[in-house]
Chains A and B, each alone.
Chain A
Amino acid sequence: MKVPKPGAREGVAVIVNLDNCIGCRACQIACQEWNGRKAVKTQFSPTFTNPQDLTADSWKVVFFKEFSVTKLLRLAEGDIELKDTVEVVPVPYNCMHCADSPCARACPVGAIKVSPEGAVVIESSECVGCGYCLAACPYDVPRKGSDGKYYKCSFCVDRIQVGREPACVEVCPTNVFTFTSMSEAEKLLASEFKDKKVYGLNLDGYVGGRTRWIFVASKDAADKVFPAMFPEKAENVNEVRDLANEFALPGLGVLALGMLGLLGLAWLRYRRNGSH
């Protein structure tokens, strides 16, 4: 399906600076609360991450990644090598809001909208619960709720449209998130964040080349965290996704075709009722 959307260099973006994250998980709670989601029933987590994955009620989850690392500290007092020390990096994770979102392309009923700002939103009143969005998602994001519909981060589209930052951005105590325009984000990545490694800008065409949530981290952290969190290339990994991808290109996927068929039936019914 051809989804109306802003250009990849237009619209909004969030830079997620992992080096500033203290893992307090306020973002996780503020997200749940603003979006009216209930707490998730959980149990002990061996990684501390909880819930241990995204759910229909937790659209944002902070994942804790522990690893060993050898660091070199360059100080005025001299270089200090820290051998085999521990590092834990909290990664606040949610829908990446691809510049050209495969989920929206894959949605057979057009329930996934892309707002003029670039927010990718599942309109739950329209969702039929088919799960094609999840299948198409290279980041494994949408989750099925108890009502059978799929849910995920909406970029707080209802806030950003009135000029207020997303709830998670606003609540963050340490400025992990920078909510800005995509063009400004590019400037920041080339200036303020120029020493950091970036994930989200040079991706496969499948996601439109970039995501609107862009992660940055120092090299030590990024080398360990990015491969653990993100697919090597943001692209489709199974058949259904291939299909979606393929048919998305001409603008009308098979699923959309199927949908057209359904609409045709509805039209016929309408005509029948109308003829009474």
Chain B
Amino acid sequence: MSDPISRRSFLKLAAIASAASIMSAIPAQAQDSPVPFKQWKTKWNLGEIGKKEGVIRAKVTPVICNYCSVGCSVDFYTVGDNVIFASIGSPESPINFGGLCSKGAAMFQQITSDARVLYPRIRTGPKPPPEELLKARSWEELEAIVKKYPPKWQTVTWDEALRFVAERLKAILSSWRANSGAPRQSDGFYYNPGSANPVQLIGSSIMVNEASYLVRKLAAYLGTSNMDSQYRKCHSSTVTSLAVTYGWGIETATNEDVALADVVLFFSSPAEAHPLSFWYFFKGKRERGTVFITFDPRFSRTAMVSDIWVPFRSGTETAIFNYILHYAFFERKPALDELPEFKRLRSRWNLTDQDLEEFKELIKEYNAEEVSKITGVPVETLRNVAKIYVERSGVVSNHKKHGIIQWAMGMTQHTNAVINIIRSAAIVQLLLGNVGYPGGGTHPFRGHSNVQGTNDIQGGGIDALPGYHGNPANAAEVRMYQDWKLQGMPDAWSWEVPAWAQEAFPTLRAAAARGRADLAKVLQVYKFYGWRRHELTWGVFCGTDPESDPRGGRVICDFPFGAGSTEITFVRRALGGEIRAALIFGENPAVSNPNAKLVMAALSSLDLLVVVETFDTETAWFADVVLPAASFAEVEGTRTNGNRVIQWTHKVMEPRGMSRPDYWIVVKLFEALNAHGVIALPSQLAGKRSEKVMIRKGDRLVELYERRVDGSASWQYSGGNGAAIPISPIEAEVNPRLINKEINFAVLIYDGIYNPVKDQYTTMKRDRRLRRRGEIDGLFSEKFEIYKDWGWAWPQNVRLAYNYDSLVAVLGEKDVVEAAGQRFEVTGETGEWIDEFTGEYKPAFLPGHNFWVPRSFKRKLSGVADIWGGLDVIHFIRTRELRFPEKSFVIEEGGSVRTLSFQEFIASTGMRYLWANDTLFWDADTTSFRAQVRRPFFSGTGWREYKPKYEEFRAELRKLYEEKKNMKEAMLKLIEERKWYAGYDFRYPIHTEPAESPDVEMAIKYPTLAWLNPHNVRVLKEEPNAKGTGLALIPQELPEEGELVIITSNRLTEMMHTGSTTRNLPYLAQLVPEPYVSIPEKLAQKLGVKPGEFVEIITARGSVKLKAYVTKGMGVFKLGEKEVPEISVVWAFSFAGKTPGIHANFLNPDVGDVITTIQESKAWIGKVRKAR
């Protein structure tokens, strides 16, 4: 497994072969020196110029880059703990082929940066008072207040720091438990709701999976649902929107697949934020003439290399997507729905004829003229783009061509991102036949190196366990779960929803009987199945006591119930006193959250803020305790890139100072908290020390074995054997390889990252080969050039999600695969899965990957045995020893019921490796679920019935506004009367304005849907007691002076996120030494502002002065009669670190998406004037 490290050297890795042929063109030169008495130099030693001679004997370690989500491998050449050279990618990686961007090339400077935190420390001085911070009306004022209270630190030992945290947390949690009685309930022990817990955990999308997983685990053990991470603020809307439509919130295809696209609609700037993705985008351009179209108000680096740049008003994407469909249905001849491929694909969508008619009625309204008014894009441009896009789609070209919709924050950070914007993109892709086919798909590009992984591995934090198994909603659900356990942990088809549970869960009624399953039932089982895997891997309990009485027993559940606060909602909750302590791992919300003064006040208001960080960040400024985290080069583990490829990142050197890997820190935190009695699991308090595992057979309950319940045993991660031999003393204490195995077993979608049969970490695979026809996914890999042996992808190594029939649709042939002694006929990408008979791989999803799998699965051990046949999985993870209970299988034979041991069971069935795959399988039933084009979000009716009500709603809003001359009051009145969009279930997306609209007519015609979430109403009302943190709903609510502008923000290649990992590096800081605002030339002329001069930007939250970057490349949009310019701020700066700068996130509002609360930081309004 250390192969990638040892075999290589600087010279071996060069493209020697090609270079050799170049060198043969070098003439032999043995001329005399032209300078008398002096030797004429003609030969240089390797590394001579930059004093890097050491490179020749350096060790090479491939590290997965910790910036963006592309997943590049960076080669570190080191001698001892010194980095000799690391500005080069790994040439063998099929993701970056040796290439890097400026960040990757400079990343090694993170290790030696003197802005690093190297020792644990405790605050001794006061924090900035929240009330004072909230009074700031400008960034200058806020910065001055913050700096008035510089933190004073005392350096302490790890023991002292951990004890301090444990004692403080104990005080906070003990008083909460005493006052609330939690987790004691009238009918048992459980934390309900988990959001009532005063502790918030945050982080982190930059840590390895092994660490993020433990953070989520710690939150559960603390009894809190207030657990969130950066994914909230990046792509939570993508994840939710795509998940409810397709089954999973993921980029549907992989890096290399974009080269097969014929047209790409860029709604973000991957050339800027994901530079290495352009390796494959350009491959497509070179080989197929892919047309690149960039939609962006700003002329980005992606626009630089695009064929067409379409500036459009931020926040109006839904209108654009709906117009593309309008073109396809109403302008194109023949219409989209008359094409045979459209008709064929309908069997994979949930659209009835009636639904389609209703949907088309809605789409009809989005004609080019209207969409042009909304978006500011000329009609002709809209038409050209729609034509190119539709003509190059799967349906129209019969899968000769496909198109990609690519996006990032520009689309996700809106109040209507889930319901309208991303849904509309997802629907366009479905209806055009672009999803699940090579060169098509939805491509949300995620921001951070492990944001996809952390999202998966924390289950989205607030309301689900790792792997998106939802938290228990209430005690009734736990009772139903206990009954499911008694039914032998069955799949959806083998499960009978008990009649008593159907009352509480009416959606399960339709397919309640055994033998039937619908999506609701499948999703319920997915939840239960996940709980069970977590019970077994964590050693905790969720169920009833006694186990035999699901209806009457006490409910005891160690998983906190319900949804907690998000990174966005936590801020106002903290200010309101509901959250008293926060543990923040590897994140800098002081800068990355919107509405800076609010978030800084909230951080200051906490009784305990623990910050685990590599750098001295702005968030650390407000901390009580700062714990030093090792850098990316000082840890090992896995990172999941934006398209789900999970790669092992190797450790280059030992941590500097007293910094420690995040996984080590979380485990030590747990140990300290546990020792101080801060951890109070419901099972512990209830005295539940073991679980009787039993299965109901007829009227009889057969007791199989007794499982020890001890939640702390699974926090023991020391040691390890075989492939898990610790790589250094720190890893011997807390071994990420053991945690990785635990993830493999706890998290169904990550099952496969470890192969327990071969004792192999599949994420370490670095084989750049294309599989061949006949192998698993051989034809797929060969023809579409997909690298399936580089790392591992979830689910089950599937690279192109929903690739159900593309072999047939595109190539016109099926593949026949021989594996595990069987023959499989497949039509798409199947992924691979361990066979329970042979322990070898076989195709997983048959005949190909489809919507909703692997959420829908079947299980041969349904009704027969516990998961993994009752294997003591905690023990196995740590020792690789198979330890089974004496009897853990129950079978019915000829009317009698028999219990069997593992050995007896395999003797009769041959399923020797059932502990490796839990006998899950996917057949035609499980792969038959449809994508949800129609998907309601609220109670109400569809579009057809709602349309007249919509007119009334708009008219009423207009009337109220004209009466009151105040939009805020008008809206509040309708909100209070519960009239806000009342009646529409939002089954299909419509355009709605951002909370802050640049035009009053637009605000009335397309009212924002923000007020469907109570958090946003809180923002509107500036609660709790936070004047000057609210909104200007329309331009009339802004100060009179200055020019009206639409404001958005952007990332730069050189500056990552809040800048702590880039502003602190000299190489990157020289490229972008300070923040600025891009303003259109036209506006600059009007204001009399020259490049580099300061402009003042004024919003409802206050003002900021930024230098003007004057460019032709910013949109100016016609809105009604007036022209409104858009400006874009660079927000990667704030007051701390080596290169401080003005903090642009001071300006944006903290209203959020109505479903996920991701902040609306891409479309808000303000006034701009020349700074005085």
Contacts and interface: CB of A to CB of B under 8 A. Distances in A.
A48 B1074 CA distance: 11
Given A24-B301, A167-B87, A157 B1073 contact: no
Interface string B1061-1094: 0000011111111101000000000000001100
Contacts of A172: 99
Contact of B304 (A1, A75, A87): A87
Interface string A226-255: 000000000000000000000000000000
Interface residues of A, number: 89
A110 to B, nearest CB: 4
A165 B19 contact: yes
A24 B309 contact: no
A36 B52 contact: yes
A39 B102 CA distance: 13
A29 B106 contact: yes
B89 interface: yes
Interface stretch (A5-13, A93-101, A206-214): A5-13
Interface stretch (B366-374, B910-918, B1106-1114): B1106-1114
Give the one of A21, A29, A179 with max B CB within 10 A.
A29
A32 B52 CA distance: 12
Interface stretch (B27-35, B563-571, B795-803): B27-35
Nearest to B309: A85
Interface stretch (A114-122, A131-139, A196-204): A114-122
Contact of B87 (A34, A48, A121, A159): A34
Nearest to A164: B14
Contacts of B1073: 42-44, 50
A121 B1067 contact: no
Interface in B23-51: 23-29, 31-38, 40-51
A160 B20 CA distance: 10
Contact of A46 (B42, B46, B1091): B1091
A263 B36 contact: yes
Nearest to B1065: A39
Interface string A181-202: 1111000000000000000000
Contacts of B19: 160, 163-165, 179
Contacts of A180: 22
B1070 A24 contact: no
A24 B1053 contact: yes
Contacts of B291: 75
A73 B308 contact: yes
How many B residues are at the interface, by size bracket? 35 or more
State the majority secondary structure of interface residues on B: loop
A162 B87 contact: no
A144 interface: no
Contact of B37 (A32, A85, A171, A263): A263
Nearest to A117: B26
B85 interface: yes
A172 B98 CA distance: 8
Contacts of A28: 102, 1071
Contacts of A48: 1109
Given A6-B27, A33-B50, A174 B278 contact: yes
Nearest to A46: B1091
B46 A159 contact: yes
Contact of A158 (B34, B46, B278, B1068): B46
B1055 to A, nearest CB: 12
Give the one of B14, B24, B29, B291 with max A CB within 10 A.
B29
A127 interface: no
B949 interface: no
Contact of A34 (B50, B278, B1109, B1110): B50
Interface in A42-57: 42-44, 46, 48, 50-51
A29 B102 contact: yes
B87 A171 contact: yes
Nearest to A113: B41
Contacts of A10: 25-27
A26 B26 contact: no
Given A6-B27, A10-B25, A30-B100, A19 B1071 contact: no
A260 B1054 CA distance: 49
Nearest to A264: B36
B1053 A25 contact: yes
B279 interface: yes
Given A51-B1070, A158-B46, A163-B23, 11 more contacts: A24-B101, A26-B104, A26-B275, A29-B1067, A73-B307, A77-B388, A88-B299, A154-B44, A157-B49, A162-B14, A174-B279
Interface of A: 1-4, 6-7, 10-12, 19-26, 28-30, 32-44, 46, 48, 50-51, 58, 66, 68, 73, 75-78, 80, 82, 85-90, 109-110, 113, 115-117, 121, 123, 154, 156-165, 167, 170-175, 179-184, 259-260, 263, 267
20 contacts: A1-B34, A11-B26, A22-B272, A22-B275, A23-B271, A24-B102, A26-B100, A34-B87, A42-B1070, A44-B1073, A50-B1071, A78-B387, A80-B308, A86-B1113, A165-B15, A167-B87, A167-B88, A171-B89, A173-B99, A179-B22
Interface of B: 10-11, 14-16, 19-29, 31-38, 40-52, 85-89, 96, 98-102, 104-106, 271-272, 275-276, 278-279, 282, 291, 299, 301-305, 307-309, 384, 387-388, 391, 1053-1054, 1066-1074, 1076, 1091-1092, 1107, 1109-1113
